[in-house]
Amino acid sequence: MELPEVEVMRRDLEKEVVGKKVRDVEVRPHRNAMRVIRRHSRRKEFADRLSGRKFTKIDRKGKYLLLYLDGGDVLVVHFGMSGQLLRGTKRQTLPQHTHVVIDFQQGGDLRFIDPRTFGEMFVTAVDQLGKIRELDHIAIDPLEDTFTWQEFSGELARRATKLKPLLMDQKFVSGVGNIYSDEVLFAAGLRYDRMSDSLSSQEVRRLYRAMREVLQDAVRFRGTTLDDDAYVDVFGKSGDFAAELKVYGRKGLACRRCRTPIDTVKISGRTSYFCPQCQS
């Protein structure tokens, strides 16, 4: 799950849980539930910090969700690759790999489901957030107004590294992962292995514009739901951006712009999809 999916989740939760009070919290008994709340040593400690609290605000920092509570704590959620937050009711049986259930006083609950347990949840005091290294080093959000192309240009030139891994580096820009980095590079007409300090100012502008447009469009389409890993929103609904993807997952298929077959390459441990004709 990358920026657009987390942002859709944030907007949904803003409507769905802000103002609601937590009645109680269940951390499920299996071992992987403890993996999900790995920063806490016991289930009860995690549950007690949420119980009786009311959600006041939902923020996003890169791919992290921050659910603020009255009383000065914040629930931090990271989805890894297979994490989900789903609204439910007592009557609905818990899906497999449900690790945490947050029950609301007003009725209904919120479940955290994560088969691969790369995701996590933890509660911390708001004034301790700065001490969480993973959060602290997160770079500027490409959808923020403060993300200007001039600044972006300077950052690109300061590094000397291949574009694909750089776009996915959360210390460079936040929220971009494997899917959207490929889509952004295609939209910008740039190859995955172009060096960041080799771009002309026209290319920098193309990359900047592509980043914003692709991410904004993906939010508008409510995220990417692929066949194999099924991202769904808080209500269990799929996103529609998969049909809009230009290169990701389209190996061997004709490029939508020039009909050349889409190719893949392994770079920094990730599969990258690209059009050999349109990107240079």
The residue from 41, 56, 198, 271 that contacts DNA (CB under 7 A) is 271
Cα gap 126→124, rounded to integer Å = 6
Cβ partners under 8 Å of residue 76, min gap 6? 64, 65, 66, 67, 121, 122, 123, 124, 129, 132, 135
CB 248 within 8 A of CB 179: yes
- Cβ nearer to DNA, comparing 22 with 218: 218
Residues 28 to 67 in contact with DNA, rule: CB under 7 A: 32, 35, 62-63
Cβ partners under 8 Å of residue 40, min gap 6? 46, 122, 123
Among the listed ranges 48-56, 78-86, 210-218, 236-244, the one in contact with DNA (CB under 7 A) is: 78-86
Residues 87 to 126 in contact with DNA, rule: CB under 7 A: 96-97, 115-118
For residue 170, state whether it binds DNA (rule: CB under 7 A).
Answer: yes
- Cβ nearer to DNA, comparing 53 with 99: 99
How far apart are CB 140 and DNA at their closest, in Å? 14
Largest CA distance in the chain: 58
For residue 239, state whether it binds DNA (rule: CB under 7 A).
Answer: no
How far apart are CB 240 and DNA at their closest, in Å? 19
Measured over the CA atoms of residue 121, residue 123, residue 126 and residue 129, the dihedral's sign is negative
Among the listed ranges 41-49, 153-161, 184-192, 209-217, the one in contact with DNA (CB under 7 A) is: 153-161
For residue 131, state whether it binds DNA (rule: CB under 7 A).
Answer: no
